[in-house]
Amino acid sequence: MEVDEAARKEAWLSERRKHITGTDVAAILGISPWRTDMQVWLDKKHLVEQEDSEQLRWGRRLERAILEGYSEGIGQTLDLFEYHLMVATCQPILAASLDARWKNPDHRPVDAKNIRRKNEEWGVEGTGDVPPYYAVQLAAQMLVTDTAVADLAVLFSGNRLECFSIYRDRELDEIILDKVGEWWERHIVQDTPPPMDGSKRTTDYLAKRFAKQTELIIPAKPETVAIAQRAALVSAIGKRFQEEEDRLKNMLRNEIGEAQGIEGVCTWRMTNPKPKLDTDAYIADLEKAVRDMLMVGHGHPGLGDATIDELRAKHTHPVEGSRVLRITYKEEPDE
């Protein structure tokens, strides 16, 4: 990434933290399968770094190709955007990062998506039958741009491009505006964190926030005991499910035997061999080679061992421990 592009991206990310965007709205309404409002809060407060997975990077790479295919398919020229944020006039907290807009007076927003496969959440091409989290994202974009319709250009399975048109719903507009204003006031202005979630980002945030510990053991409250009870129960259930999953998989392995798999059911194949470095043996041989060179070069037996010990001491450092949560609660036996 060039310096100018990196600077533009950082400025865009910084500006996004001052607003609720379309993808944030789905999380705040509790309908996003990927994010919670806790994740939105962490992003807006800049308490964790923005996630940038390989899937997201490929989505950005394919975005322009999807939009070009959409443009050719419907015969409309587009204004394309990158690291550009538009703010709603009706609610300055609400904003949208558009992928593209029609150039003609319609000016409808167009969002590009790269989807692995088309499932039952998607309707017939040309309709507005799309998963609710995408519908809400497009609803927010229509609010920001004050347009009556928005298009979703979707590339399914890397080889089939379909277009869906979502029309504006005034009742949904009111829900979004009310929720955005209420959420921002409570969680950003008043700085009240949303309910905890189980994401790694939240775990990392808590570990960073409470990196130090004291010798204090705090007294148990009834609500805390209830949380520990539930955590212990979920853990026990999870172990039983894992054991059952392992048992069922072993039944399949036994059924497959030496074959490659069962048609239409499962496979049990050898993976390709991969080189693996035996680091312990490698380091031992390197140390021996260095020791031999040092002893031969100086003619002093033992100099090699001393030098190796010095090098080891130089590069050996204590590793700081991390805090580990262990549920110590145990159900008292009935009398």
Write out the chain's pLDDT in tens, 335 residues. Answer: 555 878 888 888 889 999 999 999 999 999 998 899 999 999 999 988 776 666 667 777 789 999 999 999 999 999 999 888 999 999 999 999 999 999 998 999 999 999 988 999 999 999 999 999 999 999 999 999 999 999 999 999 888 999 999 999 999 999 999 999 999 999 999 999 999 999 888 998 998 888 888 888 889 899 999 999 999 999 999 999 999 999 999 999 999 998 888 988 888 888 887 777 788 887 888 888 777 776 655 555 555 556 667 766 777 777 777 666 666 666 554 44
30-36, long-range: CB < 8 A, 24+ apart:
31/132, 31/133, 31/136, 32/133, 33/133, 36/194, 36/197, 36/199
> The domain that contains 40 carries what CATH number?
3.90.320.10
Q: Please check whether residues 56 and 122 belong to one and the same domain.
A: yes
Q: Please check whether residues 238 and 99 belong to one and the same domain.
A: no
User: How many whole angstroms separate alpha carbon 151 and alpha carbon 101?
Assistant: 9
Q: Please check whether residues 44 and 114 belong to one and the same domain.
A: yes
Instruction: Confirm whether 154 is domain-assigned.
Output: yes
| Residues in a beta bridge with 160 | 156
Q: Please check whether residues 297 and 174 belong to one and the same domain.
A: no
Q: Please check whether residues 156 and 228 belong to one and the same domain.
A: no
| pLDDT of the residue at 162 | 95
Instruction: Confirm whether 216 is domain-assigned.
Output: no
Q: Please check whether residues 27 and 170 belong to one and the same domain.
A: yes
Which of residues 164, 189, 214 is at a domain's end? Answer: 189
Enclosing domain of residue 288: 275-335
Domain count, the chain: 3
Instruction: Confirm whether 318 is domain-assigned.
Output: yes
| pLDDT of the residue at 335 | 45
Distances (CA, A) of 231 to 28, 39, 62, 207, 325: 25, 21, 41, 18, 11
Q: Order of strands across the sheet with 160-167?
A: 78-80, 100-102, 109-115, 149-156, 160-167
| pLDDT of the residue at 329 | 64
Instruction: Confirm whether 291 is domain-assigned.
Output: yes
List the beta strands (DSSP E) in 99-148. Answer: 100-102, 109-115
Q: Please check whether residues 288 and 175 belong to one and the same domain.
A: no
User: How many whole angstroms separate alpha carbon 56 and alpha carbon 159?
Assistant: 18
Instruction: Confirm whether 116 is domain-assigned.
Output: yes
| pLDDT of the residue at 296 | 57
Q: Please check whether residues 14 and 112 belong to one and the same domain.
A: yes
**Of 74, 155, 75, 162, which is closest to residue 125 (Cα–Cα)?**
162
**Of 168, 8, 22, which is closest to residue 88 (Cα–Cα)?**
22
Tokens 């705040």 sit at which residue? Answer: 28
Q: Please check whether residues 88 and 180 belong to one and the same domain.
A: yes
Type of residue at 308: I
| pLDDT of the residue at 324 | 67
Q: How far apart are the first and last CA of the chain?
A: 68
Instruction: Confirm whether 104 is domain-assigned.
Output: yes
Which of residues 189, 212, 238 is at a domain's end? Answer: 189
| pLDDT of the residue at 56 | 67
Which of residues 234, 267, 300 is at a domain's end? Answer: 267
Q: Please check whether residues 143 and 49 belong to one and the same domain.
A: yes
Q: Please check whether residues 152 and 102 belong to one and the same domain.
A: yes
Task: Give the sign of the dihedral formed by CA 173, CA 178, CA 183, CA 184.
Answer: positive
| pLDDT of the residue at 333 | 47
Q: Please check whether residues 175 and 286 belong to one and the same domain.
A: no
Instruction: Confirm whether 38 is domain-assigned.
Output: yes
Instruction: Confirm whether 10 is domain-assigned.
Output: yes
